[in-house]
């Protein structure tokens, strides 16, 4: 009788286990689909980021070309404008920000700074050793920025600058 009862209940047990196994398989399939969907979304975002980076690189190249053209034009103007500038004024200030090969200084148009001016960079006012030069490429009223040239050590905010023309 026990064997008969066990054999009679066996299909019911298999049905129950099969149902549970079926649910697990469905859940697994659903999770796999979510992973695929997430992978697709990630890949699309990576493509967007790569396109944005390509645009940034193109814009940077364009800006470099414009800066080079401006420097070429400035170099053509330097001889004629340098002779018109009074030499007795001492133009001194400090480094206010450094990013990559560009330095920003605390002097601008109001201080007599012109495009193409070259400033020596010193650790402090009393230093005799020039650390680098900054060739001015952008002049605002109270501040300027330019490319760092001939650097012998890193430049820090607060370093002393004076015009060398």
Between 88 and 24, whose confidence is greater? 24
CA dist 123 and 129 (Å) reads 8
Answer whether residue 140 shows pLDDT above 90: yes
Structural domain boundaries in the chain: 1-84, 92-163
Q: How confident is the model at residue 18 (pLDDT cuts 50, 70, 90)?
A: low
The CATH architecture that domain 92-163 belongs to is: Beta Barrel (2.40)
Interval 93-135: pLDDT, tens: 999 999 999 999 999 999 999 999 999 999 999 988 999 999 9
Question: Mean pLDDT across the stretch 27-54?
Answer: 94
> How far is the CA of 76 from the CAs of 22, 65, 163, in angstroms?
81, 17, 20
């Amino acid at each position: 009788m026990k064997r008969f009862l066990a054999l009679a209940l066996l299909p019911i047990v298999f049905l129950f286990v099969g149902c549970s196994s079926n649910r697990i398989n469905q859940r697994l399939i659903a999770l796999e689909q979510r992973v695929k969907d997430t992978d697709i979304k990630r890949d699309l975002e990576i493509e967007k980021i790569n396109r944005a980076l390509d645009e940034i690189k193109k814009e940077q190249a364009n800006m470099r070309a414009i800066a080079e053209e401006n420097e070429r034009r400035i170099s053509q103007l330097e001889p004629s404008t340098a002779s018109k500038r009074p030499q007795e004024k001492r133009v001194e200030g400090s480094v206010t920000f450094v990013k990559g090969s560009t330095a920003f200084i605390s002097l601008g148009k109001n201080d007599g700074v012109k495009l193409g001016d070259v400033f020596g960079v010193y650790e402090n006012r009393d230093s005799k050793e020039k650390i680098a030069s900054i060739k001015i490429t952008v002049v605002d009223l109270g501040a300027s920025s330019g490319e760092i040239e001939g650097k012998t050590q890193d430049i820090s905010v607060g370093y002393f600058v004076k015009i060398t023309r």
